[in-house]
Amino acid sequence: MSWSEVAPGRWERPFGYNEKVPLVMSNLEKVPGRENWFETSITRITLKNFINEPELALRQAWKQVRFQFPEIAAYPSGDKYVYEVPQTEEEVMKWLYSTCSTAYTTADELITSLPPPKVMTVHWLPHTGEFVFSSSHFRLDGRAFMTLSNTLCHALVRPKRVVFGNEASNLSPAFEILAGIPQAPYNPEIEAAATQRLIAWGSQLSPLKIATSSSPEKPAGVSRRVTNVYSVEETSAIVKACKSNNLSVGVALNAGLVSAVCALAETAPSVDEEHYFMAVCAFDLRKYSSSPTTSAATLSSTGNVYPITITDGSFASHAAQFKEIFQKGFDPYIESMTCFQERVLNLVNQSLPPDSPLNWHPVLSSLGNAGNILDSQIVDERGEVAVELNDFWVGMEIHQCQPQLFVWTLHGQLTMTACYNEAYWSGERIQELLDGIKQQVLLGLNLRQ
């Protein structure tokens, strides 16, 4: 899963299993011409007057981003990941004009109309000061979008001449190589660990059923997004209360999600009959990488499934379970990660029962403090501010019943966004879910009566 030059200027490597899972999920073909889990980010900036001709500056910056992170121009070909070094200036310009352009529309209109490209793209929206990244999920994750956005902003301020030729040395091996994860053939201990992880997906309890009029067998519609931004005061209060209660913010938000879903259930939770919520907890894996810089802009995260026991639907009971989950982290699973994902791939294309919680139970992924990756201001050689970061958003296209929620902090404010398919959820229902999470967190942390 390391890159090798198979012909002059042509580099290839096999996909790692951490990339294969989203590759398979993206090819579900539920919506013709669209791609499930197709990711986009929106970065809104203010360009100071001394950056002339933003479109030209963006193209130059985009070339710099490619040189530093060539994966943005790499593409899948069969079971191989392929990168081709441009041999002429004409090839550079052909790539540049096909992947970097200006759009006079809204970000939402662009996201829903943009056909999934083979390589990563950037669109500049001059009337709103936004640039929109688009990519298949196998290539990168939410934190990688932040890294690339920050890299582009710095390149806008500090343009450099780029000569392609040796940029392939910046290609990142598959995460499994960087983390030294055992590959097949597996020893008995790894086989047993992967089996136990799959068994843990099950539960003797009945799943919590969400009240809905839609069926997972209904054809998918248009993917939409709804976003809640917490105030600085609310965010600060939540962070302080979490510290006082010895909880992480991620634990509190996941607990709030389960409690909010309980409020949307067909029947209210009762201590007389336990149910379970199928939680998928996301883990950033970069700490396992032998080259954090190389893996900064790649897919270096994964999720693990945990059945959360529901009794009375209380925040405290859910928080206690998530606290234990996140305290253990991914350490118990890292060695058996590839063995497990190999088995998961055999299950991905199997149809789930209509009432399976993996069809309906929302997933929440915390991306942490975006301010640790995205610089709020970038200065030029004279020490003057050339670019200011105003806002950032990241999400994905959803063709399944299961909504995907993402949360991060920027400028002292929590942002929670929900990506969903309108065939299965209404915007009003998703807004009700987001409002419910916030209410449950504030109540659970004793910040609201």
| DSSP per-residue codes, 297-329 | TS--EEEEEEEEEESS--HHHHHHHHHHHHHHT
The CATH number assigned to the domain with range 181-444 reads 3.30.559.30
- Cβ–Cβ under 8 Å, residues 302 and 175: no
Q: What is the CATH number of domain 4-176?
A: 3.30.559.10
Please provide residue 245's backbone torsions phi and psi, each rounded to the nearest 5 degrees: -95, 10
| Tokens 């579900």 belong to residue | 28
How much helix, strand and coil, in percent to the nearest 5, is found in the chain? 40, 25, 35
What sign does the CA torsion over 397, 402, 408, 412 have? positive
Where in the chain are all domains bearing CATH 3.30.559.30? 181-444
Residue 4 and residue 1: Cα distance in Å, rounded?
Answer: 9
Q: Determine the Cα–Cα distance for residues 442 and 449; give it in Å rounded to an integer.
A: 9
Q: What is the predicted pLDDT for the residue at 146?
A: 98
Q: Do residues 11 and 168 touch, judged by C-beta distance below 8 A?
A: yes
Distances (CA, A) of 96 to 51, 59, 62, 63: 20, 7, 8, 8
- Residue 53 is predicted with a pLDDT of 87
pLDDT confidence of residue 354: 61
> Kind and range of the H or E element at 91?
helix 89-99
Q: Phi, psi (5° rounding) for residue 269?
A: -60, 145
Residue holding tokens 């693990």?
Answer: 304
Q: In terms of Cα–Cα distance, which of 396, 171, 404, 407 is closest to 298?
A: 171
Cα dihedral 16/42/240/313 (nearest 10): -70
Tell me, what DSSP letter sits at residue 211? P
Question: What is the predicted pLDDT for the residue at 270?
Answer: 66
- Cα–Cα distance measured from residue 185 to residue 191, given in angstroms and rounded to the nearest whole number: 10
Longest pairwise C-alpha distance within the chain: 71
Closest by CA to 286, choosing from 18, 21, 11, 12, is 18
CA-to-CA dists, residue 200 to 63, 89, 119, 365, 394, angstroms? 46, 54, 36, 20, 30
- How far apart are the C-alpha atoms of 1 and 15, rounded to whole Å? 6
Beta bridge partners of 214: none
Phi, psi of 263 (to 5 degrees): -70, -20
Which pLDDT score, from 0 to 100, does residue 349 have? 64
Residue 362: how many CA atoms within 13 Å on its side-chain side? 32
Measured between alpha carbons, how far is 131 from 121 in angstroms, rounded to an integer? 10
3-class DSSP state for residue 279? Answer: strand
What stretch(es) of the chain map to CATH 3.30.559.10? Answer: 4-176
Q: Which residue numbers in the chain have pLDDT < 50?
A: none
Query: CB of 269 within 8 A of CB of 313?
Result: yes
